[in-house]
Amino acid sequence: MTRKYGWAAWKGQLDKLEELLKEAREAGFDYVEFSLDYPLPYKADLVAEIVKKIKDFGLAVSFHAPWRGLDVATLWPEVRKASIDIIKKSIRMASELGAEYVVYHVTTPEKLFKDTVDEVYEAGKEAVAELTDFAREMSVEAAVENVGNLGTPEFFGILKDETRAKFCFDVAHAVTTFMQRHKLKLNDVDVDEVIELWKNAIGGRTLCAHVHGVEAPRREHRPLGYPLTKRAAAKAYVSLGADYVTYEIYYVRKGEEATPKVVGKEMKDVRSWELVYEKRQALVA
């Protein structure tokens, strides 16, 4: 399919949504990835109204499932079941409203001690398998995003090998996780190495990508810069084969929100690098 580009939106922007949607369309975005947190899955009429507004501007819609307080890989079975049920509610809503896909997190609040890590991995794997199967029943795409202490190439490689899951690759999350695991400063991270690790783990099953920059010490959702450059962002989503690319750039600087026009400029700059990596992909195919 032809790659599509999205702008990320959330409930806090509802008072000026029409203005922002007009700007997003004019900036060249194809769809809006709308966050269902806060807790919108329980407000079906409001979500349907939001989706109608998005589509009225000629944009498609995708959803980011809720994440605050939800841990589908926790070792507390009651919490795990409730978390899975809420994400299923989001998947069902996506199916009913004609969303392109749903992104969700696989997380746990527990530390990954040697005597519990396998148990946590198994809980996470079972949850992802259940959600993947449910999404297939609902005829909608679902993608699990790398984030938190389970957002590693090792665990996501297991998910690729042992489930039918598709993935959402967030390159900024990958960079900050790599930085923490290897006790590096941000500017010492080799982003190309990080991309290769993830390509080996989930390449070929990556449905979508999230693009945003990182500022030291680890402030995410900023404009792209160093070490996560526009070149590296293009390499990440082209190398992993993402069909959808959502720009999650929320802030220009502290306290100042990034508008769709500003984010659209970042998108166009990143896209200027795409052809370089698409040609390289073709040469090794």
* Res 118 pLDDT > 90: yes
The CA distance from 269 to 234, in Å, is 10
One-letter amino acid identity for 33?
E
On whether the CB atoms of residues 168 and 103 are closer than 8 A, the answer is yes
For residue 160 the two structure tokens come to: 């690729």
* Res 284 pLDDT > 80: no
134: Cα within 13 Å, side-chain hemisphere = 19
Average pLDDT over residues 23-42: 94
| pLDDT recorded at residue 210 | 99
Q: Which of 209, 212, 214, 225 is nearest to 179 (CA)?
A: 214
On whether the CB atoms of residues 174 and 147 are closer than 8 A, the answer is no
* Res 60 pLDDT > 80: yes
Give the helix, strand, coil percentages of the chain, each rounded to 5. 50, 20, 30
For residue 200 the two structure tokens come to: 């080996």
Number of domains in the chain: 1
CATH number at 128 reads 3.20.20.150
Tally the residues of the chain: 285
- Bridge partner list, 144: 104, 167
Q: Please give the model's pTM, rounded to 2 decimal places.
A: 0.96
Average pLDDT over residues 11-27: 97
What pLDDT, in 10s, does the model give residues 185-221? Answer: 999 999 999 999 999 999 999 999 999 999 988 899 9
Cα dihedral 122, 128, 131, 135, rounded to 10, equals -150
| pLDDT recorded at residue 285 | 63
Express as a percent the part of the chain with pLDDT over 70.
99
* Res 282 pLDDT > 80: no
Average pLDDT, the chain: 96
The CA distance from 93 to 67, in Å, is 16
Q: Which domain holds residue 36?
A: 4-284
* Structural element, H or E, at residue 215: strand 213-215
